[in-house]
Structures are given as structure tokens and as C-alpha cells.
Structure 1
Amino acid sequence: MPKATAADRVRQAAFRTVLLTTTTAVGLLAGDLLWAVLLVSAVLGLLSPLTDVCVTPLITLVMAVGPQAVPDTGPHLLLLAGGSAWAGAVLLVPFLGGTYAAPTAGPRPARRGIGESLAALRGAAREGNPRLRYAVRICVCFTVAYAGLTWLDVPHASWALVGILTTLRPSWGATRTRITKRLIGLCLGCVLTVVLLALTSGRPVAAAIAITVCGGIARPMRGWNYGLWPVFGTPVLT
């Protein structure tokens, strides 16, 4: 990823905040309408290879339409938007988010028109572009699984759907490696979670410290070895 300028990073953080809040709102409003959720998920799946989108909006959509009841939609959305905005603000600090790139001099490159974009998309489809194939796989795999799990009324189906989004990669080799690391990491993470719950039960300060430490370790481990990410990320999510 090339380094972003200060303006680019602000734009990215704002876009992500709006995107994740919007998909959460759609999930809360359309949770009982299977066709609406499938339509939105299909569009998000096809857009997932884009750098500014990824699979995160699909995850927030799944969590919003889950079986858990959300008593107050407004406060729920405000908290999610506030958390996303806070994460973006933290990443604006160069020490935490990386140094900024210097603004480029000269005119900005011209934006591609709709006709040119459609022509490029048709060309990518004819050539079998890997990113396009990955988008179609995400779209088909997720929507079919969501429809099937919903019709069968499978409990905790959101975990299976999140598993698809976090393990399906552009190639078979990368997908197989990701599945292996995630399964082993989740098993170890569950053991660590049980230990931490036993040690911090009834001690909110100790629980907050444990969450902070695990969260601080989990994210850097993701870039070094993905298998260690679920080990320390599972206690935070639990």
C-alpha cells in the first residue's frame, strides 16, 4: 500500500466510518427481509476486492442481522459510528498510523468515466482477472450460504458466515493456509479466553487490562503471522 497524504487518510477514515455505519443500519432495518439482505450482500461481495471496501462491511451487515436483539437502533448506530471515527482518528497520528506521504505536485489524474469503467470491467471479465473472480466467489459463496443457513434456521449462523469472509482468499493455496491458521488460532484463543474469564470474573478493571493487552498484541501479530491473530483476538471479541 502506498503511503497516503494527510488528506487521503482523513478521506479514507471518513469513508470507512460512513460505510460501516450504513451497512449496520441496513442490517438492522432489513434483517427480517431475506431478499433485501441477499441483494445488499451480493453488491458488497462484488465490491469487496476494492481497497476502500474489503469484506468488513459484510461482517458488520452479518452482525447487525444476527439473532441478538438490538433494543435501541439509534444509540447502537451512534456507538458504532463513534467507534469507527475514533479508530480513524487514532490512525491519523503518524506514530500509530504511519508517516504521511508528501502531497504530489501538478494536476490530479483525470477520473475514469462510467463508459470507460464498464469497458475496463468487460475486459477484466474476458481476461479472467483474479480480482474479479475473487469478487464473484465471495458474492456467490456468501449469499448462497446466508440463504441456506437462514432457511434452515441454523443457530449462530453468523459465525459460519464470518468464517467464510475471513478465510476465503483469491487463491486456493492462500485459502487453505488461512483456514488452517484460523482453526488452530481459534482453538488456542478459546482456551486463553476461558483462562482470562476465570481470572477477571467480577473484576472489571482486570478485564479492561486484559482486553487492552490482548488487543494491543493481536493486531501486530496479524501482519506477522495470521495464525496468532485469532489467539489474542478471540478474548477481545468475547
Structure 2
Amino acid sequence: MTRSLRFGAQASEHDDTETPGDAGVSMIEIMTTLGIMSVLMVLFTGAILQVFKTTSATDALSEAQRELSNAFQRFDRELRYASWIGDPGTVGNRQYVEFAGPVPTTCYQLRLKPGADGLGVLQMVTWTLGTPPAASANGQTIASQIDLTTGVAPFTKQGYGAKPYASASASPGGAIVGGDFTSVFQRLRVQLTTKVAAGDAQIDTTFTALNTSNQTLATNGCSEGRPTT
């Protein structure tokens, strides 16, 4: 019995000398590891947030551009087949332009209604000739967040006989025309900029009123819808 206990003690002493690495790690090593992991997590989280931020900004800008494009598609038919286009005007801080549709008794007005922070809303008002809308009436919202501080006229009329090109350039249809090109129709150029946090989305389109000619009168009853205040 005594021999057995002494042999166990010797074995225990032998094991201690063979596994010196079982002492564990110090508190300093643990804190250092946690510190490194924390820095890596902060960097990783920051990168993920930046990706989400960039994606959101890109989506917002794309949505603004898509809204403008959809807006033009909504009244493209009325403008392209308009029978009369009025002279754009400004009343107070509202900018507008009227035109008569393919049916001359159907009147339209595009107007920019100012909002906050230099942004506005593009609206379209529609009525039947002889029954103009009230001065305070709101139209159908076509596009929002329109930048009103660009200094560029949103509506520009090019009347019959106008020479819209100062030099040879591409027309809206893609053909190359010279500076002496003369329009035989009334045309309306619409230039708008939508402003979002991510940047600006712009659109510049010229509509040709195919139902106009040199016989189109300068005045039209659709002017009755013109704002006065």
C-alpha cells in the first residue's frame, strides 16, 4: 500500500514537469484581445453603415429621376398634340404656362407651387373652357421637390418661326439641324431640377405642339385660368 502511494506521487510530479503550458492566460492578454476585437467591430460596423448610406442615397436620386420621367409621360400626349401654347408667366412666386389640348375646349396649366426650403411642387390643372378653376385650387401633383433656386426658367415657349438652335446641334428627335432651322410649330421647353439629399436630378425636354401652325392665334380662352395673385 505504501509503495502504491509513493508511485502515485512520483507520477504526479512527472506530469507537472511535462505540461508547463497549462497555467492559462493573464488579464492583460484578455484585455488586449478584447480591445483589438472592439476596434475591428467598429471598423466593420462603420463600413456596413457607409454601404447602406450610399445605397440609400443612390436609391433616392434614382427615385427622383424616375419621378420626373414619369411626370413627363403623364402629360406628354397633351403637350405634343396641343392646339395652342400660351406665354409662360409669373404671378408672385408662382410660375405657370397654359395650353389647349387636342380638343381646343380642354385647357391645361402647368404651375410650380412654392414650398419650404426653396423647393416646390409641379402641378397640372385641367378644366373645360368657360369654367376656369378657382384661384386657390390645387392641381394634380406631377412632381415634387423641384428646385426653385436654379435661376433657370422652367417653361420657355418657342413660337412659330422661332430659331431655337444658335448653331448646328441635335434636335430632340436626334437629327442634326443647323442654326437656321425654323420651327413651323409652337414648342414648349420644360427644364426642371429635383433636389434630394443625394444630389440633383435634371430633365430638359422640348415638346412640339403638332396641332399648331402659323395660323394659331396668339391668344386663347384658356388664359382664363391664369392665376392673378
What TM-score does the superposition give when structure 1 sets the normalisation length? Answer: 0.21
Query: Of Structure 1 and Structure 2, which has the larger fraction of its residues in strand?
Result: 2
Larger CA Rg, structure 1 vs 2 = 2
Query: Of Structure 1 and Structure 2, which has the larger fraction of its residues in helix?
Result: 1
What TM-score does the superposition give when structure 2 sets the normalisation length? Answer: 0.21
